[in-house]
Structure 1
Amino acid sequence: MLFRYHEISTLPPLAWGARVDRGGDAALVFHGMFVETHSRGFIEGAWNDSFASLNFTAATIVAGTGGILEHDRVRFSTSTDRLGPLFSIVKDGSVYVSNSPAFVMTMSGEEPDDIYPFYDYDLLHIYRQGLYCPNGHLRLRSATRLGVHFSTIITVDERAAVRFDSHRLCELPRDYQTYKELLLEGTRKVLDNGADPARKRSYGPLASLSRGYDSTAATVLAKAAGCADAFTYIDDRCRDPKCDSGASNARFFLGMRCKVYSRWQYLALGSCPEAEFGYAAANSMVPLAAVEDQLPGRILILGDYGDTIWDPKAAKVSNQLSRPWVRHTHGLSPVEFRLRVAYLAFAPASIAARHNRIIHDIATSEAMRPWSVGGGYDRPIPRRIAEEAGLPRDRFGIDKVASSHSHLRDPSRFSEKGLNHYRRFVSQRHAEVPRPIYNYWRARARWRHYLWTNTNGHEDLRYVHSTPLQRHFPFILNAKPIPIPWDYMFTFQWTVASMRSRYALPQVSVHA
């Protein structure tokens, strides 16, 4: 088997879609201009080894997605930090795999179900299970299903048979120092890989910095690996707009350049930015649209996964990267934006995260007690990392604000153009749905929300192990999702429809 590449100038620069046909001798790969291609494999990402090695399926840290040939099979890799998922469709003897849901559906001729209201909740169900669910599924308009894959290696052989495996485990940390060394070395290697001049495009680091624990520690790790640039948000709708701004910490204590954006700046862009961020309405990262001027050619350093692995209560029970308590997905919302703008995303907190029990023991050890401040927001490991870098204790880790998010579930979170575009899409699509089917799904949504509000589900986060029963009844035995009103339950379909035109392939390529 071999790769047959087709670079399409109209595709987003980092997008790719592959097709493996049963009995075929080649895997067809359609890709944008900045996807790195080689006879052995392709990648839009960086990993903790040399770029020349192209051995990312054997790496323990991968920031991005790609595929490798191994004899008579292809191995497709997601990111290890859950920020770079893959999507697949098996249909008519072919397996389609892509780093974009819209691309894989366009390639295979599939569409989401216009009236199905639970995409956000179904994605959360898959996401919560971690490695217990390497092959989640979403319903589509036809009987075909959309595969959703986080932190997974997908193997497709010449018979179009599919298998799922985990990435390699890194070495086991023994104490705080060896764990910190793993974090520092892993971050440095990923950034060095991204900066390799042999690439079509090299990537320099840029940190997203708030005053929370996780982004602060991630920024400190990135700075130690050479990162000099950061950005932060202020919130004009808060009594104290700078309450979560990391600008002064970056400039005065870390010696970094830091640009400040308003959390609501995207509302004035005039370009309907919400349409690129609708895959996860309950945790949209659309404020990132205002940062587009800084992002091309960057590795974006994020604090994601710190809320799991650096919170001792969560780390104790997050086996196999599972998080049965989270109320929304992380990292899924900006998929289309990232592929178009052409940047990589990397969460240093995910390094060694599968050693969660060891990290919990380190965080709660006697040696870490000086960095434990008590209360509900207490994370000794990132506090120690930041304080050892010179940040005063009262400058971070006080309140959790989540200023980089904007839930797309009420009109105030949409720009005027975006809201009109979304409402027009929903009105047109639902007008084509037979009234009994429309009424059925609306009643289903109303009933589910009623049950969560009045009988089942929990508002609080219950830090418990993921069990088969938990995975079967995720929103009854643990925290219910952030509820989305009926009028805003169709942003997934809206984003797919809005993105389809950018993934149209020339007919000569489709049948190559």
Structure 2
Amino acid sequence: MKLNLNAVAAWPKLAWVARFTPLIDTITVFHGPYVEANDQWCVEAVWAGDYTHGDFDKTDLIFGSGIRCRENHAVFVSSGTTLDRLWHYRRGDTWYVANSFPALLATADLSLDALPTSCVRNIDSIMRGVADYERLMPCDDGDLSVVYFNNLLWDGKALSEIDKVDTAPTFDCYETYSNYLLKSADTLAENMYDCRRSNQITPVVTVSKGYDSSAAAVIARHVGCKQAVTLKQSTSIWRGSDSGEEVALALGLECATYNRTAHHYPQEETIWSVSGRAGILNWTLFDYPEPLSLFFTAPYGDKMWSRTRWSRRDPFVFTGLSLGGLGEFRLFKGIFHCPLPFWGMRHLEELWDITASEEMKLWSIEGDYDRPIPRRLVEEAGVPRAVFGQRKKNTSHDEALLWPYTPESVASFQRFLIAQGVPTSGRALMWLRRHGANIAHLVEANLPRSLTQSVRRRRKEAMSTSAELLFRWSNSELSQTYRAALVESLPNFTGAAEPQDAVEK
């Protein structure tokens, strides 16, 4: 197997789409300008392994995605998290695999009209875990599927999903786990800083007063990170600021502080395009290092490092999708998303055993907000106990009414709604509706569920409808951008042409 590479200069930095047919040993790849590529592999990732060998298909510690050709097969490698995904699509004898849904739409000339009005519901199913989500997206024009965490194997005849290798050891005590984190960080650093890479990668970490991001900052510092970003305000006035400046200072990191909300968000459509939600829209405000960055975060530490054993023991079962919203934005900005709790995630119950063990009692403060593993990691790195992990706070951008914020995005969304025959409202009325919805949600949250059950149901239905519309609008806009850039860079591009007819770079 080999790759036929077609660079698309005006595409987002890290986007790629592969196109291939059975019994032909060449895979045509269209890719953005910062994808590392040769005829045997292309990759937009940092992984635990020697960069020159390109063995990113042989690890579960990969942050990004890629394609690895072997002698008689090819592996499409997804990120070692469920916060990114690969899409694959088949029309007739032609297959496509992509790390971007709108790029797939543009390259395969696939219309959103061919998809059901329940795309977001399918996407939400990943909250049930890697073993139980809905892989197939109903489509009137071919077969469309999505894959999280696992890889895809192409043997020249068929495409199949395969498990990622588990490189983590058995975690039988805290030292085993902490050594695993530090050694993995060393390996990632060697890969990231390899002089044979075409472009420089700079690590950066988001930090707050919480346990999880503080732990991520410790590991980020170990790989050479010197920059942190933090959001000043939390969503609750009485809980106060969630700024992680003190944590960053204790770790010797420079820290840039940002407001939690704004009136303008760069490339807002990219956030809505993942699942029609904007939980991490404020992360678009950060000044990420150029040209590429390895971004350390810490979602789902509340499950991995909890003192309470969750009833759903599948480590990939979660209660929200907010962090997945970075998936398309990161391709534009050149970000490799590296969430620390996913390292060794399949050993969840071993981590629960460590948390409950006698050796961790010194790092337990009891109460509802208590995570001994990250507390020990952070305190042993020199951060005082009182500086972090005292009260649970939230800096997400979730709101009760789903609607764009940036004026240009609002205007674009309204045009989309009008074209779809959906009633829309003016700016002043939408301002009132947004603030009214937030107040109503606050009241609802402080009343007994028995009194608000019907209201909650109606609000959930309304948000589901809005999320679907936002998903379709944003992907429609982005796919047009991808398509225009594709035609500009490759004038002879013919959409659904067979791979052997692809234009040489």
The TM-score with structure 1 as length reference comes to: 0.83
Q: Which residue of 1 aligns with 2:109?
A: 109
Q: Secondary structure at the match of 1:130?
A: coil
Q: Which residue of 1 aligns with 2:479?
A: 500
* Alignment map for 1:84-233 (pairs within 5 Å): 84-113=84-113, 117-133=117-133, 136-140=135-139, 142-233=140-231
In the comparison of the two structures, how many residue pairs are matched? 464
Q: Which residue of 1 aligns with 2:42?
A: 42
1:277 to 271, 282, 293: 271
| Paired amino acid for 1:344 | F
Cα separation, 2, equivalents of 1:131 and 1:333: 21
Moved more, 77-86 or 159-168: 159-168
Moved more, 241-250 or 151-160: 241-250
1:454-511 deviations in Å (ceiling 9; x for gaps): 89x999xxxxxxxxxxxxxxx9xxxx98971634431111121111133222352444
Shift of 1:239: 3.1
Cα distance change, pair 499–454 in 1 and its aligned pair in 2 (3 A): farther
Shift of 1:96: 0.7
Contact 1:234–1:241 (Cα < 8 Å) also in 2: no
Contact 2:114–2:141 (Cα < 8 Å) also in 1: no
Shift of 1:394: 2.2
Shift of 1:146: 2.9
1:161-202 deviations in Å (ceiling 9; x for gaps): 433323334221221011001011112221321121211112
* Alignment map for 1:111-510 (pairs within 5 Å): 111-113=111-113, 117-133=117-133, 136-140=135-139, 142-235=140-233, 239=237, 243-251=241-249, 253-265=250-262, 267-269=263-265, 273-278=267-272, 279-294=274-289, 296-314=291-309, 317-319=312-314, 321-323=315-317, 326-403=318-395, 405-407=396-398, 410=401, 414-430=405-421, 484=463, 486-504=465-483, 505-506=486-487, 507-510=491-494
Contact 1:115–1:430 (Cα < 8 Å) also in 2: no
| Paired amino acid for 2:138 | R
Cα separation, 2, equivalents of 1:235 and 1:420: 28
Q: Which residue of 2 aligns with 1:54?
A: 54
1:299-352 deviations in Å (ceiling 9; x for gaps): 000012322211243567433x331xx332243212221111112110122111
Cα distance change, pair 22–98 in 1 and its aligned pair in 2 (3 A): same
Write out the 4+ residue segments of structure 1 that deviate beyond 4 Å after TM superposition.
113-117, 314-317, 480-483
Q: Secondary structure at the match of 2:463?
A: coil
Shift of 1:53: 1.6
1:334-380 deviations in Å (ceiling 9; x for gaps): 22211111121101221111111111111111111121222222211
Shift of 1:40: 1.8
Moved more, 291-300 or 309-318: 309-318
Contact 1:275–1:495 (Cα < 8 Å) also in 2: yes
Shift of 1:204: 1.5
What are the ranges of 5 or more consecutive residues in structure 1 without an aligned counterpart?
Answer: 433-452, 460-474
Shift of 1:151: 0.7
Contact 1:230–1:259 (Cα < 8 Å) also in 2: yes
Cα separation, 1, equivalents of 2:482 and 2:415: 22
Contact 2:203–2:295 (Cα < 8 Å) also in 1: yes
What root-mean-square deviation, in Å, do the aligned CA atoms of Structure 1 and Structure 2 show? 3.0
Cα separation, 2, equivalents of 1:242 and 1:498: 38
Contact 1:121–1:481 (Cα < 8 Å) also in 2: no
Cα separation, 1, equivalents of 2:311 and 2:320: 20
Moved more, 289-298 or 339-348: 289-298
Q: Which residue of 2 aligns with 1:24?
A: 24
Cα separation, 2, equivalents of 1:123 and 1:481: 16
Cα distance change, pair 502–292 in 1 and its aligned pair in 2 (3 A): farther
Q: Secondary structure at the match of 2:308?
A: helix
Shift of 1:43: 0.7
Cα separation, 2, equivalents of 1:283 and 1:431: 21
Contact 1:312–1:360 (Cα < 8 Å) also in 2: yes
Cα distance change, pair 412–495 in 1 and its aligned pair in 2 (3 A): closer
Cα separation, 2, equivalents of 1:354 and 1:237: 32
Shift of 1:139: 3.2
Shift of 1:13: 1.2
Q: Percent identity?
A: 24
